[in-house]
């Protein structure tokens, strides 16, 4: 992360951020700090940077040109237009979601005002974000910039040691930290809570979570309003969708819940969601549509519950799947505020979607999750605009020819039990073609490798046409 601070007091920035963790981070090169003196860009022979305000009134105004030239020097140096944050009590309140969002940038420019402010015209020209660190007025933007740099740097990889980073996401779920204790066990008659001495890590974790919730309710009830329970409900016969759903859920909450819709018994259970839930509904794309599973999301019931639809596909296309999912979930009481189409390994080719979602995808997931978090915190449930036909003609899927080798089969019945649509007769081992969705889960789960399929034809077609890497698409 490279910080560039446009200021009249560069030494204040350098000194303020030169010691402790941020000093160390600068030495190790994890962050760089460039304090640019706006005065160096004055055109005035006395190096003046301020003047009287047009229309009269008290105080002086920082002139546009020196600020602009200082900014241009940074832009030239880094070779692209960066995000430029103007520190002002008129800006959006700085919070943890903004911290994490800004931490994803490579360069950040902070513009610090003094006197009565900066000529509006240069702000209009260069500023991308107006940020306030609290509802009070400071003498200048420098302290605010330093506060932001400190908080953002904690999210730059390698800035915190592993010990420090273990506790680093206490605010991610809009919860306050639990209380901490150290030796002695009894201090002036006050004992450490019993549970912490028990050595039972599960119990300790549960107690800490309880304390966090109780504390947040008592001390910061406003944060409770921003809290959402994240549940990912996924249909994932070969586990690609599951992995993508888990990655996204992990970006949205430290403690997500899961509903495994791949299992018939789980699909039959009714689950109700409220307005402080967030549902991630995830399914793979089969032939450009939702798999033909009767009532896939039917027992999930929302009450104006925000929802993200995820259509995971093997690098060909998701076509109508997102729109189809959104239609179904909207009928079930959800508001689809977002959609995402990640790439996962293709079931018919080991060359398509291999290793996806990967590190690059993870970054896109994170950016998307941060936008969703912001929307939830703002209670902005505007439905997402999702591409595709919400009611496409059902496409009959032929699927690749499947084989069962009776000499290998041990009749363990795993395939029949795990078939997501109950298409395998546990006695005869026959597959009912009218029910089969060609998900190939049977071949994947068979411990004796008695089940297989021949995807050579479709594989050749896919690899001939869809090898170019597709990128994750997100919709809000």
Binding site for ligand ADE (CB under 6 A): 87-89, 132-134, 136-138, 141, 144
Whole-number Cα distances in Å, 181 to 166, 171, 192, 276, 454: 16, 20, 7, 32, 61
Query: In sequence order, which residues have a C-beta less than 8 Å from that of residue 19 and are 6 or more positions away?
Result: none
In angstroms, give the least distance from the CB of 49 to ligand ADE. 17
In this complex, which beta carbon is closest to ligand ADE, that of residue 58 or of residue 137? 137
In angstroms, give the least distance from the CB of 126 to ligand ADE. 16
In angstroms, give the least distance from the CB of 354 to ligand ADE. 47
Query: In sequence order, which residues have a C-beta less than 8 Å from that of residue 265 and are 6 or more positions away?
Result: none
Residue matched to tokens 């003498």: 139
Whole-number Cα distances in Å, 13 to 142, 223, 233, 470: 7, 31, 47, 43
Give the three-class secondary structure for 343. strand
In this complex, which beta carbon is closest to ligand ADE, that of residue 138 or of residue 435? 138
In angstroms, give the least distance from the CB of 89 to ligand ADE. 4
Q: Are 204 and 196 in contact (CB under 8 A)?
A: yes
**How many other C-beta atoms lie within 10 A of the C-beta of residue 412?**
13
In this complex, which beta carbon is closest to ligand ADE, that of residue 132 or of residue 216? 132
In this complex, which beta carbon is closest to ligand ADE, that of residue 151 or of residue 249? 151
Quote the tokens at residue 133: 């660190």
Kindly report the backbone phi and psi dihedral angles of residue 207, in degrees, each rounded to the nearest multiple of 5, phi listed first.
Answer: -65, -45
Q: Are 311 and 338 in contact (CB under 8 A)?
A: no
In angstroms, give the least distance from the CB of 114 to ligand ADE. 9
Whole-number Cα distances in Å, 23 to 27, 104, 106, 163: 6, 20, 19, 18
Quote the tokens at residue 150: 């400190």
In angstroms, give the least distance from the CB of 199 to ligand ADE. 45
In this complex, which beta carbon is closest to ligand ADE, that of residue 116 or of residue 350? 116
First-last CA distance in the chain: 27
**How many other C-beta atoms lie within 10 A of the C-beta of residue 234?**
24
In angstroms, give the least distance from the CB of 145 to ligand ADE. 8
In this complex, which beta carbon is closest to ligand ADE, that of residue 141 or of residue 357? 141
In angstroms, give the least distance from the CB of 113 to ligand ADE. 7
Q: How far apart are the C-alpha atoms of 246 and 319, rounded to whole Å?
A: 23
Which among 328, 352, 343, 361 is positioned nearest to 461, based on CA atoms?
352
In this complex, which beta carbon is closest to ligand ADE, that of residue 91 or of residue 390? 91
**What single-letter DSSP state applies at residue 196?**
G
Q: How far apart are the C-alpha atoms of 290 and 133, rounded to whole Å?
A: 45
Quote the tokens at residue 251: 């970006």
In angstroms, give the least distance from the CB of 59 to ligand ADE. 13
In this complex, which beta carbon is closest to ligand ADE, that of residue 88 or of residue 324? 88
In angstroms, give the least distance from the CB of 100 to ligand ADE. 19
In angstroms, give the least distance from the CB of 312 to ligand ADE. 42
In this complex, which beta carbon is closest to ligand ADE, that of residue 97 or of residue 332? 97
Give the CB-side neighbour count of residue 134, counting CA atoms within 13 A.
Answer: 8
In this complex, which beta carbon is closest to ligand ADE, that of residue 137 or of residue 468? 137
**Helices 20-27, 142-153: inter-axial angle, 10-degree rounding:** 70
In angstroms, give the least distance from the CB of 15 to ligand ADE. 19
Q: Are 361 and 343 in contact (CB under 8 A)?
A: yes
Q: Are 284 and 441 in contact (CB under 8 A)?
A: no
In this complex, which beta carbon is closest to ligand ADE, that of residue 47 or of residue 93? 93
Kindly report the backbone phi and psi dihedral angles of residue 3, in degrees, each rounded to the nearest multiple of 5, phi listed first.
Answer: -100, 140
Alpha helices in 79-190 (DSSP H): 96-102, 120-126, 142-153, 162-165
In this complex, which beta carbon is closest to ligand ADE, that of residue 147 or of residue 266? 147
């Amino acid at each position: 992360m490279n910080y560039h601070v446009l200021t009249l007091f560069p030494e204040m920035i350098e000194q303020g951020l030169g010691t402790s963790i941020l000093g160390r981070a600068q030495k190790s090169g994890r962050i760089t700090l460039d304090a640019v003196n706006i005065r160096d860009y004055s055109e005035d022979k006395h190096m003046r940077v301020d003047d009287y305000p047009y229309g009269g009134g008290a105080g002086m105004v920082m002139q546009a040109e020196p600020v602009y030239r200082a900014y241009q020097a940074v832009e030239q140096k880094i070779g692209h237009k960066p995000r430029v944050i103007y520190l002002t009590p008129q800006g959006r309140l700085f919070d943890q979601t903004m911290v994490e969002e800004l931490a994803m940038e490579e360069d950040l420019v902070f513009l610090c005002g003094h006197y009565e402010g900066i000529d509006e015209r240069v702000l209009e020209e260069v500023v991308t974000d107006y940020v306030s660190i609290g509802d009070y007025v400071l003498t200048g933007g420098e302290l605010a910039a330093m506060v932001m740099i400190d908080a953002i740097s904690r999210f730059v990889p390698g800035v915190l040691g592993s010990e420090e980073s273990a506790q680093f996401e206490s605010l991610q779920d809009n919860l306050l930290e639990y209380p901490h204790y150290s030796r002695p066990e009894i201090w002036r008659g006050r004992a450490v809570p019993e549970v912490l001495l028990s050595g039972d890590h599960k119990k300790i974790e549960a107690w800490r979570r309880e304390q966090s919730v109780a504390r947040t309710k008592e001390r910061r009830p406003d944060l409770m309003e921003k809290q959402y329970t994240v549940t990912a409900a996924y249909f994932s016969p070969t586990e690609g969708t599951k992995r993508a759903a888990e990655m996204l859920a992990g970006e949205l909450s430290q403690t997500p819940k899961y509903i495994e819709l791949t299992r018939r018994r789980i699909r039959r259970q009714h689950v109700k969601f409220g307005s402080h839930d967030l549902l991630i509904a995830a399914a793979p794309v089969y032939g450009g549509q939702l798999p033909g599973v009767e009532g896939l999301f039917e027992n999930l019931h929302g009450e104006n519950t925000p929802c993200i639809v995820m259509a995971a596909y093997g690098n060909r296309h998701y076509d109508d799947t997102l729109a189809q999912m959104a239609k179904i979930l909207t009928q079930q009481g959800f508001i689809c505020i977002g959609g995402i189409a990640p790439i996962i390994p293709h079931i018919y080719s080991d060359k398509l979607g291999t290793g996806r979602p990967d590190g690059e995808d993870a970054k896109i997931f994170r950016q998307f999750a941060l936008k969703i978090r912001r929307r939830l915190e703002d209670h902005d449930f505007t439905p997402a605009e999702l591409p595709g036909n919400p009611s496409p003609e059902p496409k009959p899927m032929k699927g690749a020819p499947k084989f069962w080798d009776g000499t290998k089969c041990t009749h363990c019945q795993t395939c029949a039990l795990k078939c997501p649509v109950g298409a395998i007769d546990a006695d005869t081992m026959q597959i009912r073609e009218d029910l089969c969705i060609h998900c190939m889960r049977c071949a994947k789960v068979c411990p004796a490798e008695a089940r297989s399929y021949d995807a050579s034809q479709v594989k050749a077609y896919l690899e001939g046409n869809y090898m170019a890497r597709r990128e994750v698409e997100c919709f809000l």
